[in-house]
Amino acid sequence: MRKSSIAIIVFLALSAVMALGLRVYKFGQIPVSTYIDETAIGLDALSIAKTGKDMHGGPWLQAIIPSYGDYKLPGYLYVSVIAAFFTQVPALVIRLPALFIGVLTPLVVGAVVYELFTVIEKKKPTNVVKAVALFSAFAVWTMPWSIHFSRVGFEGHLGQLFVSAAVYCALRAVKQPRWFIASSILTAASIYTYYSTRFVIPVILLTIFIILGLQKRLRLQHLVFGVLSSVLILVLLIPMQLSPLYKESQRFRLSAQNVMHDMPAYVEYANELQEKDGNSFFSHVVHHRYVYLVKSFGKNVLEHLSPSYIFFVGDHNLRHGTGNSGILLWASIPFFAAGLYVLAKRYWLSGFILLLWLGAALVPASVPIEVPHALRSLNALPVYAMILGIGMGELYHWLKRKKFGLVVFCFFLVLLAGNLFFYLYDYSMVYPQRSADVWADGNIQMARKVQELQQNNTSIIVAGDEKLYLWIALYSDDPVSLIQQPEQNRFMQQHLGNAYVGMEYLRDSSIAKTGTFLIGSPDVISQLIEPETVMKISGWEGKEEYVGGTMR
């Protein structure tokens, strides 16, 4: 093995160790609290691990989990159940799966790009191909997008891993058609994990199948296994279609504000312009309502492709990023540009597959109004990593033949390392305070106060959102004892022992009476509690989030 190859392997091995360190530093502490979706997953996971039933007392094996009324898919939850067999710490139950996904994703992405080059591009496994695969893995390891979602428990992170693994198996099936079966199982797993994967994976697999067909590399055995795999996917998805919660889950997803909801405005605007143009045939074509719908949707897609979003700012929602860094490091721009150039110039078939993969990932992410959205577009993460990996690998092999070329390449890597250092400094030192509010800071402290009061047999009203019951149950010593009650208010378990969660209990004189301990925001309950009993419930760095006291 050449010294240069050994150097690359050593560098990437050290990078892998460093990447793991980046993900485990203050793991479970940053972000500072668990968001509502994470909290619900943790509660269901602990409940299933202990009793075999979900938080509402339903069976553990369900195609759609009712959760707190948002109808979750079970993929990430079941992985969290495995974590719950090893630890009862809520943050670890929720987020350990994300850490392992963050470790596996670079390996799978590297394997996918290796297969793309050797199968689609018909290249021999040369050092260039191996370097591209290793650098693609390196790109994921150092990507802010991956680092952040390796530390939080969101289903989309597991969904993109299943998508990448399914693509890898489909490419392996060219040599061994039986791999189509593995691909179909992983495809179904992705659909049972995150809703948007159902739009992404068919596009990628069908594109690969068509390209292989045009290359005349499919035999009867491939077709047989391809058909069997398609049937297997449909069979595996039958439980989802038959779930009593399926239709309601679809209505819930479509109820989110999206570009389709503005159709009446498009119609009114189109009619005005058509009337101005004399209601001619041409005006009805140019000013058709669907033209403005497509424009609105196209604008959302372009938001995800904005250089500002990709390299400098990222998602403005601080649950999906720091707000001070793009989903990629800005220092990776030279590698990204090189990757795009090489794909267009030399590997256009792989480039075409990645382009459709990117488009399929961005389409469902661009329908809602809230864009750009780093969580909903996570299926595009492997695409960006492969573009970076191709750029880094090809640029390295081109520069090493030039005078001072390796010096230039090392300069780019040093710049990347510096950018990564400042990202991590911001993430670990400043981001926790900046993002505390969006991570529901103070809810854990409130839940522990409720537990303390319950042990003293004190009646408690938590005057706030009824979903606060999730934190109260999860962060108690025995979560299962407080849940698995009959449905009280559409999956809202507002009565937890001697604690009552929701504003409506303030109007119940049998509960809201002198001596009852009241917890809520200062502006809501300050006038209802005895001044001498007031206590503050603080979140991160002592910031007041709730107050509590005995009712007058």
How crowded is residue 368: how many other Cβ atoms within 10 Å of its Cβ? 17
For residue 476, what are the contacts with CB-CB under 8 A and spacing of at least 6? 447, 450, 451, 454, 482
CA dihedral in degrees (139, 143, 146, 147; nearest 10)?
A: 120
Q: Is the dihedral of CA 350, 355, 358, 361 positive or negative?
A: negative
Amino acid 11: pLDDT: 66
Whether 365 and 495 share a structural domain: no
Structure tokens at 215: 């290359």
Whether 44 contacts 476, CB under 8 Å: no
User: What pLDDT sits at residue 41?
Assistant: 97
Buried-exposed string 416-433: b where 16+ CB fall within 10 A, e elsewhere? beebbeebbebbeeebbe
Distance CA 45, CA 77 (A): 6
For 177-220, write each residue's pLDDT tens digit: 999 999 999 999 999 999 999 999 999 999 999 999 999 999 99
Question: Residue 125 pLDDT more than 70?
Answer: yes
Are residue 378 and residue 471 in the same domain, yes or no? no
Question: Which pLDDT does position 13 carry in this prediction?
Answer: 74
In this structure, are residues 512 and 506 in contact, taking their beta carbons and an 8 Å threshold? yes
* pLDDT at site 7: 63
d(CA 153, CA 41): 8
Confidence of residue 520 (pLDDT cuts 50, 70, 90): very high
Instruction: Give the model's pLDDT for residue 46.
Output: 95
Q: What is the pLDDT of residue 487?
A: 47
Rounded mean pLDDT, 521-535: 84
Q: Are residues 56 and 66 in the same domain?
A: yes
Please check the confidence at residue 387 and state whether its pLDDT lies above 80.
yes
Q: What is the pLDDT of residues 309-332, one digit of tens each?
A: 999 999 999 999 999 999 999 999
DSSP of 396-409: HHHHTTSTTHHHHH
Instruction: Spell out the long-range contacts of 520-529 with Cβ–Cβ below 8 A and sequence spacing 24 or more.
Output: 520/462, 520/463, 520/464, 520/546, 520/547, 520/548, 521/463, 521/464, 521/545, 521/546, 521/547, 522/546, 522/547, 524/463, 524/464, 525/463, 525/549, 528/552
- Among residues 380, 421, 346, which one has the least CA distance to residue 140? 380
Q: What CA dihedral angle connects 387, 390, 391 and 395, to 10 degrees?
A: 180
Task: Report the distance separating Cα 461 and Cα 504, nearest Å.
Answer: 10
Q: Are residues 265 and 310 in the same domain?
A: no
Considering only 64-68, 285-289, 330-334, 424-428, which range has the smallest mean pLDDT?
Answer: 285-289
Whole domain around residue 513: which residue ranges?
Answer: 443-550
What percent of the chain is modeled with pLDDT above 70?
96
Residues 114, 247, single domain; the answer is yes
The predicted-structure confidence for 16-51, as pLDDT tens digits, reads as follows 787 788 899 999 999 999 999 999 999 999 999 999
Q: Does residue 370 sit in the same domain as residue 475?
A: no
Same domain, 459 and 423: no
Cα four-point dihedral sign 285, 289, 292, 293:
negative
Same domain, 151 and 280: no
Q: What is the pLDDT of residue 236?
A: 97
Burial of 123 (0-12, 13-18, 19+ CB in 10 A): middle
- Which among 16, 314, 320, 374 has a CA at the least distance from the CA of 152? 320
With tokens 């503050």, the residue in question is 536
The domain total for the chain is 3
Q: Identify the residue whose tokens are 């390209």.
A: 211
pLDDT exceeds cutoff 90 at 542: no
Q: What does the angle CA 101 – CA 37 – CA 105 come to, to the nearest 5 degrees? A: 10
For residue 151, how many other CB atoms are within 10 A of its CB? 23
Residues 285 and 410 placed together within one structural domain of the fold: no
Distance in Å from the first CA to the final CA of the chain: 80
Domain boundary among 293, 315, 341: 293
Q: Where are the beta strands (DSSP E) in 242-329?
A: none
Model pLDDT, residue 376: 97
- The whole-angstrom separation of Cα 366 and Cα 331 is 27
SS3 per-residue string spanning 205-249:
HHHHHHHHHHCCCCCHHHHHHHHHHHHHHHHHCHHHHHCCCHHHH
Count of beta carbons in the 10 Å neighbourhood of residue 399:
18
Identify the domain boundary among 410, 434, 458: 434
- Average of pLDDT values for 92-110? 95
**86-95, 412-421, 423-432, 473-482: least confident range:** 473-482
Of 376, 406, 434, which closes a domain? Answer: 434
Q: What are the tens digits of pLDDT across the range 437-492?
A: 999 888 999 999 999 888 888 889 999 888 999 999 999 888 877 776 654 555 66
- Specify the pLDDT at position 467: 92
Here the tokens at position 320 are: 């999906």
CB atoms closer than 10 angstroms to residue 527: 7
Query: Per the structure block, which two tokens stand in for 428?
Result: 């670990």
Q: 265 and 333: one domain?
A: no
The mean of the pLDDT values for the chain is 91
**Domain co-membership, 145 together with 35:** yes
CA distance 371 to 356: 20
Contact (CB, 8 A) for 78 and 66: no
What is the torsional sign of CA 32, 35, 38, 43?
positive
Whether residues 340 and 409 fall in one domain: yes
**Nearest alpha-carbon partner for 196 in 136, 154, 141:** 154
CA 492 to chain centre: 25
pLDDT in tens, 208-253: 999 999 999 999 999 999 999 999 999 999 999 999 999 999 988 8
For residues 202 and 207, give the distance between their C-alpha atoms in angstroms, rounded to a whole number: 8
- What is the sign, positive or negative, of the torsion defined by CA atoms of 89, 93, 98, 104? positive
